[in-house]
Amino acid sequence: MRFLKAPTLFLVILSLTLCSATNKGGYWPSWAQDYFPPANIETTFFTHVYYAFLSPNQDTFQFEIDDTTASALNSFTTTLHQKNPPVKTLFSIGGGSFGTQIFSYMASSPDSRGSFINSTIQVAREFGFDGVDLDWEYPQTQTEMDNFGLLLDEWRVAVNEEAQSTGNSKLLLSAATYYKPVIPWDVVHTYPVESINNNLDWINAMCYDYHGSWDVTATGYLAALYDPNGDVSTSDGLQSWINAGIQREKLVMGLPLYGRTWTLQDPTVDGIGAPAVGLGPGNDGAMLYSEVLEFNAQNNAKVVFDEPTVSYYSVVGTSWIGYDDVESVKLKIEFAQSLSIGGYFFWTVVGDQEWRISQLGTHSILSFCTLLRRHGLMKT
């Protein structure tokens, strides 16, 4: 038996952790069709792309797809499957503006859950999707969390049975979740981690929006890796999921491609937590990452990388923007890799500027995988 030398063994181990297991996702919002169609997505930087969003009927919990939407869905899957390289496609259900009530009703009984589940499978197969993503923001009580778990149990059974009966590959199942497994609002309630482990392929933990338009009295970091003064951070959120027992490969870290904005009370007091009097530039206090860079350049903004939180902010007069940039995202991806979790995703792919952030994790991973192939240590 020939033993591998230490450097070779090290490369093989890294190949398993970096080249095979990393989920690199991106959400594509359907309202971007006119200015950023799916054909514009550079699939080199992603493994999975999500169509956001579809919503079920509030009475039947089934999906009613009109001709315009059907055309968009077909175009989405066909375009991304034919790209080089191709990516897996999922359609995401709900979203932040959809609310919780319909999901709560749907998940509350076996009949309504079954109606919803069967319709998701039908839509996925009809339009050529590889899977389905549930974006329920968020279950409001422990009863809703328990019903969420029942939904996942039954969904997995239905997906397995459909694949077995048709010979098709199993549909992927994922869910967008709160950044922690415990939601502390009103009555504390906890995600059904055991059901997630048993039934989902992964969760997309939304590790952003720690501060925003709902709190206009002070500036705040959007998606800090660390919180020097508390536990509202990506590092705490991911570790909380791991401590709760989630399988690491099923935990995917969210990254924002946008910024949150405030108007400072005093332009000379401009750090994180500075007094503010309202929202800043952008749409309802939000700007795409590409818009942030443009705003900074046009206005000669003061740009600050805040090392304690691993986040950025920029200041122009009384305008204050909190966001992520290249260095903070690099450090977050390295942190995720150090935890051996499943990967990362972006909200949304349309926010980047010339893929300067989307490419970060992929370039290091691709270059490393290329090195392995050159040395004959990894199959193509």
Name the region of 68 (left: φ>0; alpha: ψ -120 to 50; beta: rest).
Answer: alpha
Q: How far apart are CA 57 and CA 93, in angstroms?
A: 12
For residue 86, give both structure tokens: 């191709």
Give the model's pLDDT for residue 186.
85
Give the model's pLDDT for residue 205.
98
Give the model's pLDDT for residue 318.
98
307 given a catalytic annotation: no
Give the model's pLDDT for residue 18.
42
Catalytic choice (42, 64, 126, 137): 137
In CATH terms, the fold of domain 11-256+325-374 is TIM Barrel (3.20.20)
Give the model's pLDDT for residue 70.
98
Give the model's pLDDT for residue 25.
98
Residues 81-90 have pLDDT tens digits of: 999 999 999 9
Least Cα distance to 171 among 180, 161, 181, 179 occurs for 161
Question: How much is the pTM?
Answer: 0.91
Q: In tens digits, what is the pLDDT along the chain, a chain of 380 residues? A: 333 344 443 333 444 344 444 899 999 999 999 999 999 999 999 999 999 999 999 999 999 999 999 999 999 999 999 999 999 999 999 999 998 999 999 999 999 999 999 999 999 999 999 999 999 999 999 999 999 999 999 999 999 999 999 999 999 999 999 999 999 988 899 999 999 999 999 999 999 999 999 999 999 999 999 999 999 999 999 999 999 999 999 999 999 999 999 999 999 999 999 999 999 999 999 999 999 999 999 999 999 999 999 999 999 999 999 999 999 999 999 999 999 999 999 999 999 999 999 999 764 443 334 333 433 434 43
Contact 346, 25 (CB under 8 A): yes
Contact 132, 151 (CB under 8 A): no
Domain ranges of the chain: 11-256+325-374
Q: How would you write 99-124 as a 3-class SS string?
A: CCHHHHHHCCCHHHHHHHHHHHHHHH
Give one DSSP letter per residue of 283-299, joined into a string.
Answer: SSSEEEHHHHHHHHHHT
